[in-house]
Chain A
Amino acid sequence: MPSSPKTATSGKTLKEMRALARSRGLRGYSRLSRAELGKLLSRRGGENSPVTGKTGKTATTKPAAKARVTSAQSAAKPALTRTQKEQKAAPVARATSLPVPEAAPKWEWVTESRRQPVDEEQVKSAKYATVLPGTAVPHTESADLNEDIDILPSVTEPTLCLLPQKPGVLHGYWIVPPNSIPNPQSLKLRLGRIARDTFEIFDEISLPDVRGRWYFHVDGSADVGAVYLQLGYYDPGGRFVTATRRGIARIPSLYASDRIDRLWWVSEEQFRAMYHRAGGHVRGPRLGWAASISSPGGAPFSDRLAWPGNVSSR
């Protein structure tokens, strides 16, 4: 059994887990206990089923050509940090999260700045409204072209992609077609960055299945540069062998730059005033934006995932 589900939610508070569920678009999680929620997240986080969408049917994946894992694709196993070494010794949990998430955000929302998502969604989706909310839309289907749209295309090449979702959260998806990689049970996903010629691992999970998607939470408070997602396995010598092209993404910035252009000099006071009037936050040493509060190292809190001032952002 893949070990990753345990690692994904271990160490998270109930509030953080609920926020994680929200960020994944799950519903009905607020009534679940911590253990139930952990199970749900583990199941959904590494969800391997292809798309079901609204029309019900699932996709099929045809057998594909075997992916070649060449020596050129092999990479030396990076030097592990102390924490990683300790965690590697543990039989199950592999996930690490570096830099260490902060327990609390650096600054708080001002109360009056919270938006009401219900209002915002009403406004935003009004142009697509044809019936009252909650009413079934009459659906006219055309079958005259013999299009079985629910059979989605198969993927024949091993695929790996990393996308930034928001500060502190990255989304990765992978597809390992059957027979394309030997021993897919041993596959792992590694998220990290290259620092001082070594691959510094932020997170590592066993592949829950040959096809899936995952939300990685990293510290969004610092600019860590490019973040890499690798899919591969450890060979008997402990070297990590990559099985696909890697995914690369940058974590979006939360904060105002500290740099000031000499020719366009702006005083700290003036910039803070403009930042504040524009809905940003100026508490503490840094100037941060709305989404930042949701990010440092963990999942967003649903009541903070907001735009300031009840403003619809669409």
Chain B
Amino acid sequence: MNPKGYFALVLHAHLPFVRHPEHDRFLEEDWFFEAMTETYLPLLEVFEGLARDGAHFRVTMSLTPTLLSMMTDPLLQNRYVRYLDERLEALEGERRRTEGNAYFQPVVMYYRDLYRRLRQRFVEQDRLDVTRSFRSLMETGHLDILTCGATHGYFPLLAVNEESLYAQLSMAIRTHQRILGRRPRGIWLPECGYKPGLDRLLREFGIEYFILDSHGLLNADPRPKYGVHRPIRTPEGPAAFGRDYESSKQVWAAEEGYPGDPVYREFYRDAGFDVHEPHIRKLHHAGIPTFTGLKYHRITGKTNWKEPYHPGWARERAAEHAGHFMFNRQQQVNWLTSFFDRPPIILAPYDAELFGHWWFEGPQWIEYLLRKMAYDQDEIKTITPSEYLDRYSDLQPASPPECSWGAGGFHEVWLNGSNDWIYPYLHGAAEKMAALVQRFPDAQGAQRWALDQAGRELLLAQSSDWAFIMKTGTSVDYAVRRFKTHLHRFHRCAGMVESGNYDPPYLNEIAARDSLFPDMDYRIFQTRPWT
């Protein structure tokens, strides 16, 4: 039986490339370890469980090239095992500390079981490389994996140098293919940043579709007959899907959204700040308390008074919220089909890290939602954008406007008084890189080595995360230093090429640190696909 409508869950998984072999431990590497522990591995557990049970489900995920690079990096893989071991050791201390405490010991034991389980699967099942598991879910058709910009460069503001866009796309597709074994059909444009004309580049790279925020479709020209509930065909051919506002709101909204429920785990209360025992202090960085991931309280209310976290209650609430969400999607589909002449698609994109890292119970909510959609109703069916395009290829032609999914809907998050200083340097460096490609079209030896590394450094400097962090004020110092470091390294490499004086020890060292994209070819910085 054909469903009345389709639901496409899209999870955008991304972190900037953070890897510091020059330090034994480095605080910002925890971004990756925390996301692995709370988001990526729990999501894999959910998807594998559903697949094992034979439930019909489809999910779309973007795994950015920087994230794929970190997931496959041996240094980070080993450090992640150390991260888990350190927490398991600390949890043993916590077990002793909370002995006889009926409020907190159950939470401690819950974490101990969770960390043991995750460690076991990471070491034995994933054999330290989680991309294998994502890949096998992709091969069974449950997961559609999108690519993204190579380093999540924000396309509308990099477009001053078209070579940068070609480079971001070329390296992204190479990395996707190298690690996941197939070319991506779709792309998650970094920050959903779109600029008219980008569809031409996507077509040149064989990309069939991308995703925009709601106004990217609703303000398209001419008016889209089906609003955001059916993709449009851009002038150059790729399809553009639009974000459904109503389903986004229920998960993202601060007050009316699900993650704010008092029963759910509180993000900011962490044993790293609350417990002053040697076994917890071992997890601090340079003696300063940091997040440990061991959080024992629930949101409770708006005051600072927080009650103990109860995983069972939270799980029940996640199931209720999943039912509520599905009910609302059914209502929405019924409303849409009252005037649509074909099945609508409700596309709900989120940052993957929202689920688990911010909203700890998010992966459970996804599991309940997908199970309910598979077993409890037949009005809505989950689908991937690729499958939707295979079924319905007659799309309305329309041109999307310039837009993003950042606050305000345009470029203000990545271009404002806190971060606008970076653009003259980014544009200048891209211009220099493009000139070097033209000047040395067939570099060999040390020259090739320096040019390839210059390409890596420039891509890393282009990451939209630095501008975002400068704007939001978290870890600003790190973002500024990363931007300046990559810019410095780029110019030093470019200077070697220009002068002919190479510094092999320096090149060796920075190549070992900024080691992503082993198949880098500096000629990606030209105005044609180089894959």
Residues of A near any B CB (own CB < 8 A): 23-26, 44, 50-51, 53-55, 115-117, 119-121, 123-133, 135-142, 144-145, 147-153, 155, 159, 161, 163-167, 169, 171, 173, 175, 213, 250, 252-261, 263-266, 270-271, 274-275, 277-280, 287, 289-291, 294, 300, 305-314
Contact between chains at A278 and B245 (CB < 8 Å): yes
Residue of A nearest to B191 (CB): A314
Residue of B nearest to A159 (CB): B424
Counting CB contacts under 8 A, is B530 at the interface?
no
Are A312 and B254 in contact, with the CB atoms below 8 A?
yes
Known pairs A123-B354, A145-B506, A261-B225; A152 contacts B472 (CB<8 A): no
Roughly how many angstroms separate A257 CA and B401 CA in the complex, as a whole number? 10
Chain B residue contacts of A275, Cβ below 8 A: 218, 227
Given the complex, which residues of A lie within 8 Å of B478, measured CB to CB? 137, 139
Task: Chain A residues near B160: list those with CB within 8 A.
Answer: 161, 163
Can you name the residue of chain B whose Cβ is closest to the Cβ of A146? B506
Q: With A133-B474, A171-B415 known to touch, is A163 a contact of B26 (CB < 8 Å)?
A: no
B27 proximity list for chain A (CB < 8 A): 130, 137-138, 140
Whether the pair B214, A278 counts as a contact (CB closer than 8 A) is yes
What separation, in Å, do the CA atoms of A150 and B488 have in the docked complex? Answer: 8
Q: How far is the CA of A119 from the CA of B218 in the complex (A)?
A: 26
- Determine which of B223, B224, B401 lies in contact with A253 in the assembled complex, contact meaning CB atoms within 8 Å: B401
Q: Give residues of chain B (158-195) contacting chain A, Cβ–Cβ below 8 Å.
A: 160, 191
Among B88-96, B142-150, B371-379, B403-411, the stretch in contact with A? B403-411
- In the bound complex, do residue A165 and residue B411 qualify as a contact, i.e. CB atoms below 8 Å apart? yes
A119 vs B302: C-alpha distance in the bound complex, in angstroms?
12
- Closest beta carbon of chain A to B231's beta carbon, Å: 13
Report the 10 A-B pairs with minimum CB-CB distance, sorted nearest first.
A25-B417, A119-B254, A24-B417, A274-B227, A166-B410, A25-B418, A138-B286, A257-B221, A259-B222, A149-B484
**Given A130-B27, A173-B424, A275-B227, A309 and B416 contact (CB-CB distance below 8 Å):** no
Smallest Cβ-Cβ distance to A24: which chain B residue = B417
Question: Contact flags (1/0) for B242-267 with A, using CB distance below 8 Å?
Answer: 00111011001111110100000001
Enumerate chain B residues within 8 angstroms of A167, measured Cβ to Cβ.
410
Specify which of B27, B191, B246, B252 lies most central, judged by the most chain A CB atoms within 10 Å of its CB.
B252
| Given A121-B472, A291-B408, 17 other A-B residues pairs in contact with their CB atoms under 8 A | A53-B483, A125-B473, A127-B357, A128-B475, A130-B28, A137-B477, A163-B157, A165-B411, A166-B408, A253-B219, A254-B219, A259-B223, A264-B225, A274-B228, A289-B219, A306-B408, A310-B249
A289 surroundings in chain B (CB, below 8 A):
215, 218-219, 409
Q: Which residues of A contact B473 (CB under 8 A)?
A: 121, 125
Q: A280-B218, A289-B215 are in contact. Are A131 and B291 (CB under 8 A)?
A: yes
B476 at interface by CB-CB < 8 Å: yes
A304 to B191, CA, bound (A): 21
Q: Shortest Cβ distance from B224 into chain A, in angstroms? A: 8
CB within 8 Å of A: which of B464-514? 465, 468-469, 471-478, 480-481, 483-485, 487-489, 491-492, 506, 509-510
Show 22 A/B contacts (Cβ-Cβ < 8 Å), sorted by A.
Answer: A24-B417, A26-B417, A44-B417, A51-B422, A53-B484, A54-B480, A55-B481, A120-B407, A121-B473, A126-B353, A128-B474, A141-B481, A144-B22, A150-B484, A152-B484, A152-B487, A163-B411, A257-B223, A264-B396, A266-B223, A274-B218, A289-B215
**Interface contact A161-B417, CB-CB below 8 Å:** no
Are the C-beta atoms of B408 and A290 separated by less than 8 Å? Answer: yes
A115 to B147, CA, bound (A): 30
Partner of B219, one of A26, A151, A256, A277: A256
CB distance from B132 to the nearest CB of A (A): 24
CA distance A119 to B427 in the complex (A): 33
Contact between chains at B256 and A123 (CB < 8 Å): no
Tell me the minimal C-beta distance from B196 to chain A in angstroms. Answer: 8
Q: In the complex, which residues of chain A have a beta carbon less than 8 angstroms from the beta carbon of B402?
A: 164, 250, 252-253
- Bound: A290/B410 CA distance, A: 10
| A250→B399 CA distance, assembly (Å) | 15
Q: Is B343 an interface residue (CB 8 A)?
A: no
Query: Are the CB atoms of A23 and B412 closer together than 8 Å?
Result: yes
Contacts of A280 in B (CB 8 A): 214-215, 218
Q: What CA separation (Å) do A265 and B355 show in the bound complex? A: 39
Q: State whether A261 and B219 are in contact (beta carbons under 8 Å apart), knowing that A131-B288, A173-B420 are contacts in the complex.
A: no
Q: Enumerate chain B residues within 8 angstroms of A125, measured Cβ to Cβ.
A: 468-469, 472-474
Name the prevailing secondary structure of the A interface residues: loop
Roughly how many angstroms separate A151 CA and B485 CA in the complex, as a whole number? Answer: 10
Contacting residues, chain B, for A141 (C-beta < 8 A): 481
Residue in B244, B256, B405, B416 whose CB lies within 8 Å of A313: B405
Among A130, A260, A307, point to the contact of B223 (Cβ < 8 A). Answer: A260
Are A163's CB and B223's CB within 8 A?
no
Residues of chain B with a CB closer than 8 A to A131's CB: 288-291
Taking CB atoms, residues of chain B closer than 8 Å to A291 are: 408-410, 412
What's the Cα separation between A62 and B526 when bound, in Å? 28
* B424 and A161 contacting across the interface, CB-CB below 8 Å: yes
A145 pairs with B510, CB closer than 8 A: yes
Determine if B225 and A252 form an interchain contact, defined as CB atoms under 8 angstroms apart. Answer: no
Residues of chain B within 8 A (CB-CB) of A53 are 421, 480, 483-484
* Nearest neighbor of A262 in chain B, beta-carbon distance: B222
Q: A306 CA to B488 CA in the complex, in Å?
A: 36
Question: Which residues of A lie under 8 Å from residue B323 when comparing CB positions?
Answer: none
Give Cα A261–Cα B394 distance, bound, in whole angstroms.
Answer: 14
| Contact assessment for B477 and A54 in the assembled complex, using a CB-CB cutoff below 8 Å | yes
Known: A144-B22, A275-B227, A290-B408. A311 touches B220 (CB 8 A): no
CB neighbours (8 Å) of B288 from chain A are 131, 135-138
Distance (whole angstroms) from the CB of A24 to the closest CB of chain B: 3
Whether the Cβ atoms of B489 and A147 lie closer than 8 Å is: yes
In contact, A165 and B415 (Cβ under 8 angstroms) = yes
B423 at the interface (CB under 8 A from A): yes
Shortest CB–CB separation between residue A49 and chain B, in angstroms?
9
Q: Say yes or no: B223 contacts A261, CB within 8 Å.
A: yes
Complex: A306 Cα to B253 Cα, angstroms: 13
From A23, A55, A116, A287, B416 is in contact (CB under 8 Å) with: A23
A23–B417 CB distance below 8 A? yes
Check A261 against B398 for contact (C-beta < 8 Å).
yes
| 8 A Cβ contacts from B342-362 to A | 351, 353-354, 357-358
Interface centre among A147, A256, A274 (most CB of B within 10 A): A274
Chain B residues near A55: list those with CB within 8 A: 477, 480-481, 484
The contact string, 1 if C-beta is below 8 Å from chain A, for chain B 22-47, is: 11001110110011000000000000
**Chain A: minimal CB distance from B286 (Å):** 4
Bound Cα distance A61, B454 (Å): 22
Q: When the two chains form their complex, are residues B416 and A25 in contact, meaning their CB atoms are under 8 A apart?
A: yes
> Contact flags (1/0) for B313-352 with A, using CB distance below 8 Å?
0000000000000000000000000010000000000010
A230 to B293, CA, bound (A): 52
Cβ contact within 8 Å between B218 and A256: yes
> With A and B bound together, what is the CA distance between A39 and B158 in angstroms?
32
Chain B residues closer than 8 Å to A136, beta-carbon distance: 288
Please state if B219 and A278 are interface contacts (CB–CB under 8 Å): no
Which residues of chain B from 9 to 30 have any CB-CB distance to chain A below 8 Å in the complex?
Answer: 15, 20, 22-23, 26-28, 30
Q: Are A117 and B407 in contact (CB under 8 A)?
A: yes
